[in-house]
Amino acid sequence: MPSPGGGSVRVEGQLGVGSRSLDGKLVASGVDVAPIRPYLPVRARIAGKAGAELTVKVALEPLAVAAQGKADLQDLAVADGDRPLVTAARIETTGIDYAWPATAKIDRIEIQKPTAVLERRADGTLPLGALLGPPGVAARDTARQAVVPRPNPAAIDVVVREVVVAGGSAVIVDGVVSPPARAELGDLRLTAKDVTWPARGPASIQLNAALPGGGTASAEGASAPTRGASI
């Protein structure tokens, strides 16, 4: 069956007694992720094409959805309006074990060729940080518009055994100084293990990057949910 924005979703399976459950297999490719934006706990505009091969179990009363398998996301863009601040050519996720509504254990996420613009504006604000905050009415709009409460998104609980970033690049722009300082990092490689969201345990991190002018930076450490990171 075609999906809105392109792509296809195919579900094969068996209905349970009284059509109150489904055991099946979901195969999706090239599905536009735009329709799921309202469910994501971020203010940014997210774009991309998703694919998946999942074994799915659905029960209606009470509602329960479980899925196992793998998924991918191509041409991801996290944008501030029309300006992408984070992109990735491809994200592959394997060893997914998902349970409704927002609990997932993932064995491995590989992010291929990501790019990021890490900017600090002249007033000290971080555009990317604001985009990754929870959705709501933008501060500049509150003075002119009545605040319309949005439904709270489901509480997310994600555990990932390993996250690998390969072939990444980043542009760092600091507008606090004049003229703005700018540095381009290349060949970014990151491996993080035991990542949890919300953070509740230490995640180990290894990072390597090429610096402008031929230098290199490497870091190895751990993040702690209450103390920050030690590198």
| Residues making contact with another protein (CB under 8 A) | 122, 174-181, 183, 211-221, 227-231
Report which residue type is found at 70.
K
- Which one, 141 or 184, has the nearer CB to another protein? 184
28, 9 contact by CB (below 8 A): yes
- Angle at CA of residue 22, ends 17 and 23, nearest 5°: 115
Of the two residues 2 and 201, which places its CB atom closer to another protein in the complex?
Answer: 201
Both tokens assigned to 55: 């074994």
Terminal Cα distance for the chain, rounded: 48
Tokens of 91: 């994200």
- Residue closer to another protein by CB (options 22, 190) is 190
CB of 184 to another protein, least distance (A): 10
Shortest gap between Cβ of 114 and another protein (angstroms)?
Answer: 21
Q: State which amino acid sits at residue 4.
A: P
CB of 65 to another protein, least distance (A): 34
What contacts 74, CB < 8 A, 6 or more positions away? 30, 48, 49, 50, 51, 89, 90, 91
- State in angstroms the smallest separation of the CB of 190 from another protein: 14
- Identify which of residues 65 and 190 has a Cβ nearer to another protein in the complex: 190
- Work out how close the CB of 231 gets to another protein at its nearest, in angstroms, rounded to a whole number: 4
| Burial letters 12-42, b for 16+ CB under 10 A, else e | eeeeeeeeebbeeebebbbbebeeeeeeeee
The nearer residue to another protein, 38 or 228, going by C-beta atoms, is 228
Q: State in angstroms the smallest separation of the CB of 124 from another protein.
A: 9
Distances (CA, A) of 226 to 42, 49, 163, 196, 199: 22, 35, 21, 13, 9
Measured distance CA(9)–CA(220) in Å, rounded = 41
Is the CB of 49 or the CB of 120 nearer to another protein?
A: 120
